[in-house]
């Protein structure tokens, strides 16, 4: 059969087909992106662009208050969101995906149940947990009291010591459905003959998991980890729902996106646009930089394993 691309479109016709998407993309994505890059290099007086200041906005971001305190603190909280999600998805998530894989019956049902929280709006998830953890009528405290753990019950979101952990756990609770599903698909794509061969060689189920299945899953774990990182760095609706735009109590749940949002739209500072653009660029550079470094590092580890 002739597989040559005989149906090729003449370029003028192709450009015509391309036009609507290209126009929309140029106006509402490319143009804002290009201008945004310059915003951080100017000082601003409200909405009016003032003078070219070079890196001054970045210097101000790292050396003047409140940014010098809030930026590292918010970044640390994002890192904790990432760590929490990684721990949960690579322990509970991986274990559940593995258990589900060795189980034909009801697999689809469990997959759907586990993915539910991931598919619900993160803002709804955040508000839902703020209600569940309410000190007035919250079912969580009520359940703790019902089993005699009165001492554990507390205003979870009002206490700076627990509020951040609530954000971390709620975020992980919602996110884990995604890694679970992906790990499940990756396990399904593995050749069953490999595991059978290990079984015939007398490997125990634990040995088979650690020495056969896990190394084969590594590429997928790496890919998912990068996505988890990007997601954790951009986390916005859950922290917003649980701690408001100021990251209450006392900034305990502040994250980068909230810092950006406050600086750009609620700070009232005349140079709000200059500083907030610097925040956005720092965030973007961190996301892209670490994602690339992580991917390269992971490829090297992977090569050593196989």
Partner 1 sequence: MRRAAVSTLLWAYAAVALLPLLIMVWNSFRTDQELVVEPLGLPHSPSLDAYREAWVEASFSTYFLNSVLVTTLSVLLSTAVSLLAAYALARSRSRLMAVIEQVFVSGLMMPVFLMIVPIFYLLDTIGLASTRTGLILVYSAVSIPFSVFVLATFLRQLPVDLEDAARIDGAGPLRTFWSVLLPLVRPAVATVVVFRFVPIWNDFFYPLILVRDRARYTLPVGLTTFFGEYQTSWSTLFAGLVIATLPLVVLFLVATRQIVAGLTAGMGR
Residues 212-231 that bind partner 1 (CB under 8 A): 219-220, 223-224
Kind plus residue range of the DSSP H or E element containing 288: helix 272-305
Please give the distance of CA 98 from its chain centroid, rounded to a whole number.
23
Q: Which helix (H) or strand (E) holds 80?
A: helix 67-88
Residues 268-297 that bind partner 1 (CB under 8 A): 273, 276-277, 279-281, 283-284, 287-288
Task: Quickly list H helices, 89-159.
Answer: 94-101, 107-119, 122-132, 139-146
Q: Kindly state the smallest distance separating residue 102's Cβ from partner 1, in Å.
A: 6
Identify which of residues 82 and 114 has a Cβ nearer to partner 1 in the complex: 114
Q: Which span (60-68, 177-185, 193-201, 246-254) binds partner 1, by CB under 8 A?
A: 177-185
Report the run of H or E that residue 42 belongs to, with start and end. Answer: strand 42-45
Beta bridge partners of 42: 52
Size of the site for partner 1 (CB under 8 A): 104
Q: Which stretch binds partner 1 (CB under 8 A): 28-36, 57-65, 148-156, 191-199?
A: 28-36
The enclosing H or E element of 274 equals helix 272-305
In the complex, what is the shortest distance from the CB of residue 246 to partner 1, in angstroms, rounded to a whole number?
14
The DSSP element (H or E) to which 48 belongs, if any, is: strand 48-52
Candidates 7, 151, 193, 200; binder of partner 1 (CB under 8 A) is 7
- Of 85 and 241, the one with the shorter C-beta distance to partner 1 is 241
According to the binding rule CB under 8 A, does residue 155 interact with partner 1? Answer: no
- Contacts to partner 1 from residues 183-212, by CB under 8 A: 184-186, 188-189, 205
Q: Name residues contacting partner 1, limited to 56-95 (CB under 8 A).
A: 92, 95
Q: Give the CA distances from residue 15 to residues 5, 25, 117, 295, 304, in Å, rounded to whole numbers and listed in that order.
A: 18, 14, 42, 35, 46
């Amino acid at each position: 059969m002739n597989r040559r691309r005989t149906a090729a479109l003449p370029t003028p016709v192709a450009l015509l087909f391309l036009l609507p998407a290209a126009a929309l993309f140029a106006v509402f994505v490319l143009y804002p992106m290009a201008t945004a890059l310059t915003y951080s290099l100017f000082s601003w007086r409200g909405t009016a662009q003032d003078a070219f200041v070079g890196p001054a906005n970045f210097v101000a971001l790292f050396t003047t208050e409140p940014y010098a305190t809030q930026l590292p603190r918010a970044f640390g909280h994002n890192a904790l969101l990432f760590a929490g999600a990684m721990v949960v998805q690579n322990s509970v998530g991986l274990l559940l995906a593995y258990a589900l894989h060795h189980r034909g019956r009801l697999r689809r049902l469990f997959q759907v149940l586990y993915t539910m929280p991931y598919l619900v709006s993160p803002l709804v998830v955040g508000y839902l947990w703020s209600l569940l953890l309410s000190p007035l009528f919250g079912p969580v405290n009520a359940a703790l009291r019902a089993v005699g753990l009165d001492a554990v019950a507390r205003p979870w979101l009002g206490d700076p010591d627990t509020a951040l952990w609530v954000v971390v756990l709620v975020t992980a609770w919602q996110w884990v459905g995604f890694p679970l599903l992906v790990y499940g698909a990756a396990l399904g794509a593995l050749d069953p003959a490999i595991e059978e061969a290990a079984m015939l060689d007398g490997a125990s189920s634990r040995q088979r998991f650690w020495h056969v299945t896990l190394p084969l899953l590594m590429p997928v774990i790496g890919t998912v980890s990068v996505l988890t990182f990007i997601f954790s760095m951009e986390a916005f609706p859950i922290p917003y729902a649980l701690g408001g735009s100021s990251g209450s109590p006392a900034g305990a749940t502040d994250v980068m996106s909230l810092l950006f949002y406050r600086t750009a739209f609620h700070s009232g500072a005349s140079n709000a646009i200059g500083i907030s653009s610097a925040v956005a660029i720092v965030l973007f550079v961190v996301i892209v930089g670490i994602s690339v470094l992580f991917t390269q590092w992971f490829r090297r580890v992977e090569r050593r394993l196989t």
